[in-house]
Amino acid sequence: MGGELVVTSVKVRNIGPCSLRVKGGECLGVQGPSGCGKSTILRAIADMDAHEGEVSLAGVDRLSVGAPAWRRLVGLLPSESAWWEEKVADHFLNPEALDPEILGLSASHFELPVKRLSSGERQRLGLLRLLDRQPEALLLDEPTANLDEEGTRLVEALVLSYAREKSAPVIWVAHNTRQLERVADRLISFNRAGQVCEGRAS
């Protein structure tokens, strides 16, 4: 499991081209002004939006597998996760195997209707749902935006532990520079065109 994530000249409409490489187990921090295309580039890497360019993970080209299979390999956590069933547990493959306490939650959260969750609970459960599917790479878009300091540190610890154990490359988008300095092995910045303008992309 795990391997290098390689993004080559990815472009979505007027955003990009973006090229970068993230080794297995490495966390790449991405920052940039609002509206510069950070979220759009993540969606393109996950094959959620039509785009130009190439993406591969551990030598497997995105075009060699179907979109659903690719999205299981390269897991995207958007800033606001979608919920389509009434109860939280119905969004998980195997909730009994998960430990929600690692994110300051309890098993009873799985039995709640989604509409009763706070924004912070939704964000933490969204991360658990993603990890429940065992992706081989993580794309995280402001994963702690709705969390307090304690919740933020719990998410940071879980993501970095997962990356180490699975040798999974991580791209972590955030506006909080101090957070990125804590979690990231490297930092890059996007300009307003969605292109790398500072830091080393590879």
- Residue-range domains of the chain with CATH: 5-198 (3.40.50.300)
Query: Per-residue b/e over 101-110, b at no fewer than 16 CB within 10 Å?
Result: eebbbeeebb
pLDDT at 1: 60
Residue 162 and residue 123: Cα distance in Å, rounded? 17
Could you report the per-residue pLDDT of 138-186, keeping only the tens digit for each?
A: 999 999 999 999 999 999 999 999 999 999 999 999 999 999 999 999 9
Residue 177 and residue 12: Cα distance in Å, rounded? 26
pLDDT at 170: 98
What is the DSSP-derived secondary structure letter of residue 85? S
pLDDT over 80 (residue 200): no
Could you report the per-residue pLDDT of 118-134, keeping only the tens digit for each?
A: 999 999 999 999 999 99
